[in-house]
Chain A
Amino acid sequence: MKYTEDHEWLSLDGDVVTIGITDHAQEQLGDIVFIELPEVGTQVTRGDEVVVIESVKAASDIAAPIDGEVIEVNEAIVANPGTVNEDAEGIGWFLKVRVDDLSQLDEFLDEDAYKDLIE
């Protein structure tokens, strides 16, 4: 598992990366009540706002951490946004992206570095 400084996690399988937000991020957001995901097939560029999350407190955008094509989104969290609060780093994943350039993943944080960031 890799992490970004924006509190996303990435899990790589072949050239497909699964993306979600960290447990720390869901805790900061509070109770999540609405999630909007991109359409499957969307070509995203790093930095694009791809996901909208609304908690009871505020709206937040999640930016794509890498370039690639969205090949799957987690419709279950749209129907039940609280899933992300319950299991942000498991069944509360957001989307899967086929990565254009795997070297983009090199710069992300490992678990220890991410823990240092949030402590």
Chain B
Amino acid sequence: MAEDLATTPLHALHLELGARMVPFAGYEMPVQYPSGVLKEHLHTRAAAGLFDVSHMGQILLKGDNPAAALERLMPQAIVGLKPGRQRYGFFTSETGGILDDLMVANRGDHLFLVVNAANKAEDAAHLRRNLFDLAMIEVENRALLALQGPAAAAALARTIPLPEMKFMDVAVVDTGFGTLWISRSGYTGEDGFEISVKKDHAEVFARALLAQPEVLPVGLGARDSLRLEAGLCLHGHDITPATDPVEAALTWAIQAARRPGGARAGGYPGADRIAAQLQRPVESLSRVRVGLLPEGRAPMREGVEIFEDEAAEHPVGRITSGTFGPTLGQPVAMGYVTGRLAGVGTRLWGELRGRRQPVTVAGLPFVAASYKR
């Protein structure tokens, strides 16, 4: 493996557990353990999976009213976010594109952000450049673990004193593993937690979780199939600086207060463009993110072009994520199609190895979320 790859505090544990390691976003990360992607995926939906997501960026924003400041960079209502709560959002570009998607937590007198590994350096630079009146701290001394699945809460409660939390709550908890920063959220569609733990305690904490009978270690392979079945976007693939939130079908994440006519409308990069897009009927958009279900068993992966009929010359869309969905037992995909063809049930064609095969526009998520709201 290339020597310039970073490692997480759980690297030795991954090797001990027999993980297959791959380069991902500058880190050497476990793609799967010996049980394999299918079993890891199904186990997470049935019991609980432990994921090392320490490659993701953890950022603290402190200073005078950081919520109001952050609203200058995001179309989300951060000011209205209550202490102890977290919200999904994204940084937008001047043209309304999505620079990155992230979680923002209100921790009373400051904010805690979790951003994508591949974008964390750019995100930090973006924050530093634009919010120079705030203190921005890139948290370097903590690992991040995700414990996901219907048994996650029971397994975690046996390991630490777990406060009562519901979906998207955050808490700071003193434990035998040091002070943990916990959120009840994740990237699988299942109930679960993301837990920030000091590096020195990370391995012993991970071992304590793995000692619970419900918990199996799960790699990036199953993390991808789980999030895709849950209809969750992967930045750099399903959403990029070239796609805006309306095309990306993420308008649910733009609160009324920030939309035209709202109390704090606009005031973020690309606001005019996004406001204009919000007015347009879906049918008139040049492209819209949709779920796609290929017929048969062959997965249609990123890059597969979508056509309106079997003989059409020009594509009307493209797959941005696709794999075999273990819970559904069939291929699942996400991609963009022209707005007029974005209705659920529309039958289209995907070109796979030179042959056109039927694919149907489907509602997202493919697997219903089981969050504890």
Please report A residues at the B interface, Cβ cutoff 8 Å: 30-31, 33-34, 36, 52, 54, 56-59, 81
Chain B residue contacts of A31, Cβ below 8 A: 36-38
B298 with A30: CB separation less than 8 A: no
Residue B373 CB within 8 A of the other chain: no
Q: How far is the CA of A34 from the CA of B324 in the complex (A)?
A: 9
Q: How far is the CA of A30 from the CA of B331 in the complex (A)?
A: 16
Residue B323 CB within 8 A of the other chain: yes
B299 with A30: CB separation less than 8 A: no
Residue B314 CB within 8 A of the other chain: no
A30 with B37: CB separation less than 8 A: yes
Q: How far is the CA of A30 from the CA of B41 in the complex (A)?
A: 13
B contact residues, range = 10 to 19
Given contacts A56-B323, A81-B297, 6 further A-B contacts (CB under 8 A): A30-B37, A34-B297, A56-B36, A56-B225, A57-B221, A58-B301
B221 with A33: CB separation less than 8 A: no
Chain A residue contacts of B299, Cβ below 8 A: 33-34, 54, 59
Chain B residue contacts of A36, Cβ below 8 A: 298
A56 with B298: CB separation less than 8 A: no
A34-B297, A34-B298, A36-B298 in contact; A57/B31 too (CB < 8 A)? Answer: yes
Residue B353 CB within 8 A of the other chain: yes
A52 with B37: CB separation less than 8 A: no
B221 with A54: CB separation less than 8 A: no
Chain B residue contacts of A56, Cβ below 8 A: 36-38, 221, 225, 323-324, 326
Question: What are 13 of the A-B contact pairs (CB < 8 Å)?
Answer: A30-B32, A31-B36, A33-B38, A33-B299, A33-B324, A34-B324, A34-B331, A54-B298, A56-B323, A56-B324, A56-B326, A57-B31, A59-B301
Chain B residue contacts of A58, Cβ below 8 A: 301
B contact face: mostly helix, strand, loop, or mixed = mixed
Q: How far is the CA of A76 from the CA of B231 in the complex (A)?
A: 32
Chain A residue contacts of B225, Cβ below 8 A: 56
Q: How far is the CA of A30 from the CA of B38 in the complex (A)?
A: 9
Number of A-B contacts (CB under 8 A): 37
Within the complex, what minimum Cβ distance (angstroms) separates B366 from chain A? 15
Q: How far is the CA of A91 from the CA of B31 in the complex (A)?
A: 28
Chain A residue contacts of B353, Cβ below 8 A: 52
Query: Interface 1/0s, chain B 24-43, versus A by CB < 8 A?
Result: 00000001100011100000
Chain B residue contacts of A81, Cβ below 8 A: 297
Chain A residue contacts of B331, Cβ below 8 A: 34
Chain A residue contacts of B38, Cβ below 8 A: 31, 33, 56
Lowest 5 CB-CB distances: which A-B pairs, in order?
Answer: A33-B324, A31-B38, A56-B37, A34-B297, A34-B298
Of residues 246 through 287 on chain B, the ones whose CB sits less than 8 Å from some CB of chain A are none
Within the complex, what minimum Cβ distance (angstroms) separates A119 from chain B? 17
Q: How far is the CA of A31 from the CA of B38 in the complex (A)?
A: 7
A33, A58, A81: most-surrounded residue (chain B CB, <10 A): A33
Q: How far is the CA of A107 from the CA of B38 in the complex (A)?
A: 37
Within the complex, what minimum Cβ distance (angstroms) separates B227 from chain A? 14
Query: Interface 1/0s, chain B 285-297, versus A by CB < 8 A?
Result: 0000000000001
Within the complex, what minimum Cβ distance (angstroms) separates B72 from chain A? 41
B31, B324, B326, B353: most-surrounded residue (chain A CB, <10 A): B324
Within the complex, what minimum Cβ distance (angstroms) separates B49 from chain A? 15
Of residues 303 through 345 on chain B, the ones whose CB sits less than 8 Å from some CB of chain A are 323-324, 326, 331
**B296 and chain A: residue at smallest CB distance:** A34
Within the complex, what minimum Cβ distance (angstroms) separates A61 from chain B? 9
A56-B225, A56-B326 in contact; A33/B297 too (CB < 8 A)? Answer: yes
A33, A34, A56: most-surrounded residue (chain B CB, <10 A): A56
Query: Interface 1/0s, chain B 114-150, versus A by CB < 8 A?
Result: 0000000000000000000000000000000000000
A54 with B324: CB separation less than 8 A: yes
Q: How far is the CA of A82 from the CA of B298 in the complex (A)?
A: 14
Within the complex, what minimum Cβ distance (angstroms) separates B327 from chain A? 12
**A58 and chain B: residue at smallest CB distance:** B301
